[in-house]
Structure 1
Amino acid sequence: MKMLAILHAAQLVTLAGPNRARCGKELNDLGIISDGALLVEGDRIAAVGTSKEIEKLARDAEIIDASGSVVLPGFVDGHTHLVFAGNRLDDFEARARGETYEQIAKRDGGIQTTVRATRAASEGQLFSLAKERAGWFLRNGTTTVEAKSGYGLSVEDELKILRVIRRIGAETPLQTVPTFLGAHAVPPQLERDAYVGLVRNEMLPRV
């Protein structure tokens, strides 16, 4: 089994502690090991400790010298919209001019701008866009994201977005946790009650 040892981290942040949500002063306890190291066997962390301790276990391991660096777990982003097309530059300009979000929404801006662009994009195009964003997350230390749908607002377009989210999780190192957000907004072609019925009776059974 392939082994990898990361040695001599100025700080190894283990987050060791209670297996539950922390609160108060517990949030300051990051389980930091100075001159820290960890040993990876296959795809699992086999041991953590000081560099002196891990060096004894790492005779046949590939070595990464992390001197001067902080080694810590990947960040988890619990709220993202990873899959969409288009942009809202016009909306940003409108907000800068003093328009409210409600005013922008009344002229089918805001969410509806992104819905139109996302509906028009193919599944392949959405995957390419999302794959680029996945790279941004990974380069900045985020390794797991919750990713919402909600920019399709139709049965097939919501399913299209969810398929792309799952594909990103399968084909890139970014771990994705899909969330169905079909009730993100009401599409302009439907009344609210009719759309709620569509979400409940057609979207949810398909999801």
Structure 2
Amino acid sequence: MKLIGPFKQVVTLADLPLRGKLFDEQLEIIEDGGMIINQNKIQQIGNFEYLKSNHPNIEIEEIEEGQIVLPAFTDSHTHICFGGNRANDFAMRNAGKTYLEIAESGGGIWSSVQHTRKASEQELLETLLQRIDFLLALGITTIEIKSGYGLDAENELKMLRIIKRAQQQTKATLIPTCLSAHLKPRDFEGSNQEYLQYILTQILPQVKEENLAKRVDVFIEKSAFQPDESKDFLLKTKELGFEITVHADQFTSGSSRVAVEVGAKSADHLEATIDEDIEFLAKSDTVATALPGASLGLGEKFTPARKLLDAGAILAIASDWNPGSAPMGNLITQASILATFEKLTTAEVLAGITFRSAFALGLEDRGKLETGMKADFVTFKTNNFQNVLYNQGSLKAENVYVDGMKIK
């Protein structure tokens, strides 16, 4: 058991509701605070000197003066296991080329599939660990990671096994998701439905046997899989015992409704979601996940986060870090920019990258600084917590803790 502090401010996020809009006045801020950590959990939070005087024999880990502390962040949607990059796609898109023109010239998702298939397991593992370390340095200690650049049994399983190996070499919590239904690969001879059946019979049973992932994702879009075939696929994956999430409403509306109907943990993207589907989402327990990195990478509109919150939805914010549409990977920068466009309060943004995004992954033991919660937290060298988002990612994390142990 140890006491960590004193912090200029402890921003607990305690007692904030899971859904709907938030006001900064609801934030609990403990000045000159400290935390008692016991067996990887938060045992008590309060004034540092008070805690110190009431526990005279406790081990003390003193913090350098002038730091605030927040719950560590969760990035609930990434594609950071991949080979190669698509810098040429970015240049072509900015020069006015269409998605189809880029794909026909050898770019697009298929380019990432080819690079990922060609890459050795060691190459993929090393680059994945580098990206995980980048996220840890931002204060992100829980990271969802999708497959989806293999698109056949051999390579999808290769990706998921690499994510499993990475978990053994990092302090971060990794949440693997099987995204074999990213799109039908060019070298698959058959229909969309036949490819989805291939996933159900040739990939998911092995995923389950090796315990490679407990979650399955599908990209519902005109260029990928249609709502009806996706709904049937998702219901069958649930029968196999998987949790489900959906890439929904990125370019066309309608698929977020499918996500709600099948009981998905989250519907991610939602840039094209219409008002009636916002209301549908808000009445459900399906988390609405905004992915501002994709909007910035593609030059497209943002997810209607303000409308979703006002309607009472559970809003998470994630990076969508991937080699094509969202290559930045800096969730703090992206979330702060989303806030300026969608008029989100600091409380709403912090909730969206902590306990609400953790909930999208089925995790309710992190994202708040409260008694009994996992002791993952991040400090910043500033006297005012508002500076974290105000600096839009340029204020770097000072220290990062996982299970109460400093890893940075």
TM-score, structure 1 as length reference: 0.90
For 1:13, the equivalent position in structure 2 comes to 11
Once the two structures are overlaid, the 10-residue window that deviates more, 128-137 or 64-73, is 64-73
Identity of aligned residues (%): 38
Offset from partner CA, 1:137-196 (integer Å, 9 cap, x none): 010110001111001001011111111222222320111111100011221112433422
Question: What is aligned with 1:204?
Answer: 204
What amino acid is aligned across from residue 42 of structure 1 in structure 2? Q
Q: 2: CA distance between counterparts of 1:27 and 1:178?
A: 33
Question: 2-side partners of 1:142 and 1:58: how far apart?
Answer: 33
Which is greater in Rg? 1
Aligned partner of residue 80 in structure 1, secondary structure? coil
Match of 2:191? 192
Residues matched between the structures, number: 204
Q: Deviations over 1:3-33 (max 9, x none)?
A: 3322121111111115x51322367523221
Supply the AA of the counterpart residue of 1:198. Answer: Y
DSSP-derived class of the 2:74 partner: strand
- Residue 28 (structure 2) aligns with: 31
Given residue 197 of structure 1, which amino acid in structure 2 is its aligned partner? Q
SS of equivalent residue, structure 1 residue 83: coil
1:159 alignment partner in structure 2? 157
Q: Distance in 1 between matches of 2:113 and 2:181?
A: 13
Given residue 67 of structure 2, which amino acid in structure 1 is its aligned partner?
A: S
Counterpart code for 2:43: A
Moved more, 164-173 or 83-92: 164-173
After superposition, the Cα gap between the structure-2 partners of 1:198 and 1:176, relative to the gap in structure 1 and judged at 3 Å, is same
Instruction: Report the RMSD for the aligned CA atoms in angstroms.
Output: 1.8
Match of 2:214 in 1: none
Mark the CA change 1:58 to 1:90 in structure 2 (over 3 Å): closer, same or farther: farther
Describe the shift of the 1:73–1:25 C-alpha distance in structure 2 as closer, same or farther (beyond 3 A): closer
Q: Return the offset for 1:204.
A: 1.7
Kindly tell me: are residues 144 and 113 of structure 1, through their superposed partners in 2, closer, same or farther at Cα, counting changes over 3 Å? same
Would you say 1:42 and 2:62 are equivalent positions?
Answer: no
CA contact (8 A) 1:6 1:66 kept: no
Farther-moved stretch of structure 1 (48-57 vs 127-136): 48-57
Contact kept in structure 2, 1:7 and 1:64, CA below 8 Å: yes
- 8 Å CA contact retained: 1:5, 1:58: no
8 Å CA contact retained: 1:11, 1:34: yes
C-alpha contact 1:84 1:114 (8 A) present in aligned 2: yes
Give the AA of the match of 1:38. Answer: M
Match among 62, 65, 70 for residue 63 of structure 2:
65
Q: How do residues 86-165 of structure 1 correspond to structure 2 at under 5 angstroms?
A: 86-165=84-163
Structure 1: runs of 5 or more not aligned: none
CA 1:206–1:41 in structure 2 vs 1: closer, same or farther (change >3 Å)? Answer: same
State the distance in 2 between where 1:66 and 1:12 align. Answer: 14
| Matched residue type, 1:131 | L
Q: Deviations over 1:63-84 (max 9, x none)?
A: 2224311111110011101211
Give, in whole Å, the separation in 1 of the partners of 2:25 and 2:86.
Answer: 38
1:109-136 residue CA offsets vs partner (Å, 9 max, x unmatched): 1111111111111222111111111110
Name structure 2 gaps, 5 residues minimum.
Answer: 208-408
Which stretch of structure 1 is more off in the superposition, 64-73 or 20-29? 20-29
Instruction: Compare 197-206 and 134-143 and name the one that shifted more.
Output: 197-206
Is this contact kept in 1: 2:3–2:58, CA < 8 A?
no
Look up the equivalent residue of 2:191 and give its one-letter code.
Answer: R
Q: 1:141 to 1:58 in 2, by over 3 A?
A: farther
Aligned partner (choices 176, 179, 182) of residue 177 of structure 2? 179
SS in 2 for 1:79: coil
For residue 35 of structure 2, what is the amino acid of its counterpart? L
For the residues of structure 1 that align with 2:24 and 2:86, how far apart are their CA atoms?
Answer: 37
Q: Greater relative contact order: 1 or 2 (C-alpha under 8 angstroms, separation 6 or more)?
A: 2
SS in structure 2 opposite 1:85?
coil
Residues 81 and 147 in structure 1, CA contact (< 8 A), matched pair in contact too: yes
> What TM-score does the superposition give when structure 2 sets the normalisation length?
0.47
